[in-house]
Amino acid sequence: MFLFLALLDSPGEQEKFKEIYEHYRHFMWYLANQKLQDEHLAEDAVQEAFLALTRHLDKVEDIYSPRTKRFLSTIVRSKAVDILRKRAPEQELEDYMEDSRGGTDILEQYLRKEHYNRLVSCILELDDRYRTVFEYKYLYQMTDAEIGDILGISEKNVNVRYFRARKKLQKMIREEAGQYEKA
Amino acid sequence: MKKPEKLTRGEELLTQALEECLDEDLSFVPPDREIARTHRFSEQFTEFMDGILGKKAREKEIRRHFMPRYGYLAACALVFCICGGLFLGVLYPDWNSTDSTADGPRTEEPAAETSEEAAEDAAENAVASAEDAVSGGASEEAAKEYCGQTVYLADQQEVPETLGGVTVKVNSPVQDEENPVLYLTIGNTGEDTVEYEDRCALEVWLDDGWYALPVYEEKEIRTGELEAGMAVDEIVDLSSYEIDYSAQKFRLVTRVNGDKIGAEFTFSEEFSESMSD
């Protein structure tokens, strides 16, 4: 706790953090509760999200901008996913080893304008665990180290998750395209 | 946030799609006010966040700064008494003398003062009790028998429904005899955060005034903060009271920023009958 207090030592940061807390805590709790369906676990997720935010407050420029709202939603959703997954420990590294042996990453081929609507519907269907990694990486341009710090996992595991997210999305788009062609 | 690094065309498309999806998801989130109405953060959560916000640390610092050091205070008082005693001893060397002629006038004067003070006190008390009667102050005589219990006149008879920017309403859309509860909704339409007590008192109108109903289970009074533009519900369990549900006026009273505020209500005939059965 003292570490976090120390991180928010400057009055400017304290004020900024307080403003974010006052403005977004209910919003963040709602998102967490949507995922966890448990009021208390949702509060835990919000706490974890705010703790993570103390280390990445520099990512927030305009407190009331849509970008900040999105950023906070990504953090709290990823914390909620963490809580859910703590019940079933992940085997990402092993999965990664298997995945890396089977086939190449050809997602780029599917990312074309003509597939845009399919891409959107696939992202909406994508597991939050993968989607949040994409969001951290592309929407907020965070490095693997920064993402790992927020998620509480190693850089290597961030890379694993990212790799799996790409594979998953690629598979979903391919399946969606197949259904579309059949229709 | 830093500017995006070079992205491929595909990655740009992915970024755009991610943003669109996220905005779509967030568009379903209800306004803060509604979320706050359905959920109140737990004490543990609030304490934890206060910790991060540094409130605790600041409070501790202030307490440490102003904490009276009783040892020092006692030492100061002792020194003051000794100095005072020595000083008076120098000024009035014959103060402790047993000479009765010297004592005479001195004892008469305080006695006269005492009788004057007593007269003033009596006059003040008379005024105070008259004021009490006007404002409806609680007294032992202002008690009635109600539903087999003694109820006392409420200490404040006139309680506003709106105070500053805060309004209270009694809310109970469907009354269920299995679970008879009422909600006192406190809405803050003002511009400042207010402090409210999370316990409210149920009072009943009996002939000449409002009487407070005793509650079976006393609850610890806690205060909460209600931000501007927010509302909160306080739940009142009617099974904690002995109530005659037949046509009577009731009111729920709570405190906002230390001042009483309350709303009147009556029970519907159907509900009164079902509860009487």
Contact B39 A14 (CB under 8 A): no
* A130 and A84 together in one domain: no
* Calpha distance B197→B219 (Å, rounded): 11
Contact B22 A4 (CB under 8 A): no
CA distance B258 to chain A (A): 23
Domain end marker among A89, A111, A134: A89
Among residues B188, B175, B176, the alpha carbon closest in space to that of B254 is found at B188
| One-letter-per-residue 3-state SS of chain B | CCCCCCCCHHHHHHHHHHHHHHHHHHCCCCCHHHHHHHCCCCHHHHHHHHHHHCHHHHHHHHHHHHCCCHHHHHHHHHHHHHHHHHHHHHHCCCCCCCCHHHHHHHHHHHHHHHHHHHHHHHHHHHHHHHHHHHHCCCCCCCEEEECCEEEEECCCCCCCCEECCEEEEEECCCCCCCCCEEEEEEEECCCCCEEEECCCEEEEEECCEEEECCCCCCCCCCEEEECCCCEEEEEEEHHHCCCCCCCCCEEEEEEECCEEEEEEECCCHHHHHHHHC
Say if residue A160's pLDDT is above 70: yes
CA distance B151 to chain A (A): 39
CA distance B54 to chain A (A): 6
Q: Choose among B25, B42, B53: nearest Cβ to A43.
A: B42
Measured between beta carbons, which residues in chain A are less than 8 angstroms from residue B60? none
* Calpha distance A144→A180 (Å, rounded): 35
Q: Give A 127-156 residues with CB within 8 A of chain B.
A: 131, 134-135, 138-141
CA distance B166 to chain A (A): 20
Enclosing domain of residue A119 = 90-183
Measured between beta carbons, which residues in chain A are less than 8 angstroms from residue B53? 8, 14, 17-18, 21
Residues of chain B with pLDDT under 50: 1-4, 56-68, 97-114, 123, 126-140
Q: Is A70 on the interface with B (CB under 8 A)?
A: yes
Which residue does chain B place closest to A51, by CA atoms?
A: B52
* Cross-strand bridge partners of residue B252: B202, B263
Q: What is the mean pLDDT of chain B?
A: 72
Could you tell me the pTM of the whole model?
Answer: 0.50
Among residues A6, A111, A22, the alpha carbon closest in space to that of B9 is found at A111
* A75 and A97 together in one domain: no
Domain locations along chain B: 146-276
Domain end marker among A29, A56, A89: A89
Query: Tokens standing for A97?
Result: 């080893």
Contact A26 B15 (CB under 8 A): no
- Convert the pLDDT of each residue in A9-33 to its tens digit: 678 888 889 899 999 999 999 999 9
- Convert the pLDDT of each residue in A130-139 to its tens digit: 999 999 999 9
Contact A21 B53 (CB under 8 A): yes
* Cross-strand bridge partners of residue B62: none
So what's the architecture of B146-276 in CATH?
Sandwich (2.60)
Contact A134 B41 (CB under 8 A): no
Say if residue A68's pLDDT is above 60: yes
* A42 and A66 together in one domain: yes
* A23 and A94 together in one domain: no
Which residue does chain B place closest to A27, by CA atoms?
A: B32
- Convert the pLDDT of each residue in A88-132 to its tens digit: 555 444 444 444 444 555 677 777 777 788 888 899 999 998 999
C-alpha angle B236-B238-B240 in degrees, rounded to nearest 5? 95
Measured between beta carbons, which residues in chain B are less than 8 angstroms from residue A59? 1
CA distance B236 to chain A (A): 22
* A37 and A76 together in one domain: yes
* A64 and A108 together in one domain: no
The domain tally of chain A equals 2
pLDDT of residue B268: 73
CA distance B16 to chain A (A): 8
Among residues A86, A60, A90, A89, the alpha carbon closest in space to that of A73 is found at A60
Measured between beta carbons, which residues in chain A are less than 8 angstroms from residue B23? 66, 70
What DSSP string runs through A1-62? Answer: -HHHHHHT-SHHHHHHHHHHHHHHHHHHHHHHHHHH--HHHHHHHHHHHHHHHHHSGGG-SS
Q: Is A170 on the interface with B (CB under 8 A)?
A: no
CB B226 within 8 A of CB B232: yes
pLDDT of residue B7: 74
CB B168 within 8 A of CB B262: yes
Query: Tokens standing for B68?
Result: 């009276």
* A139 and A101 together in one domain: yes
What CATH number corresponds to the domain at position A80?
A: 1.10.1740.10
* A84 and A2 together in one domain: yes
Q: Is B100 on the interface with A (CB under 8 A)?
A: no
pLDDT of residue A89: 56
Mutation target for B interface from A26, A53, A68: give the one with most B CBs within 10 A. A26
* Calpha distance B233→B198 (Å, rounded): 9
* A164 and A112 together in one domain: yes
Measured between beta carbons, which residues in chain A are less than 8 angstroms from residue B20? 120
Domain end marker among A64, A89, A114: A89
Question: How would residue A179 be classed by pLDDT, with cut points 50, 70 and 90?
Answer: low
ipTM of the complex: 0.83
Q: Choose among A1, A59, A124: nearest Cβ to B51.
A: A1
Measured between beta carbons, which residues in chain B are less than 8 angstroms from residue A141? 1-5
* Calpha distance A97→A91 (Å, rounded): 10
- Convert the pLDDT of each residue in B174-211 to its tens digit: 556 666 778 788 888 888 888 888 778 888 888 888 98
What CATH number corresponds to the domain at position A100?
A: 1.10.10.10
Say if residue A3's pLDDT is above 50: no
Helix (H, G, I), strand (E, B) or coil at A106: coil
Which residue does chain B place closest to A133, by CA atoms?
A: B18
Q: Is A162 on the interface with B (CB under 8 A)?
A: no
Q: What is the mean pLDDT of residues A76-86?
A: 90
Q: Give B 14-43 residues with CB within 8 A of chain A.
A: 14-15, 17-26, 29-30, 32, 35-36, 39, 41-42
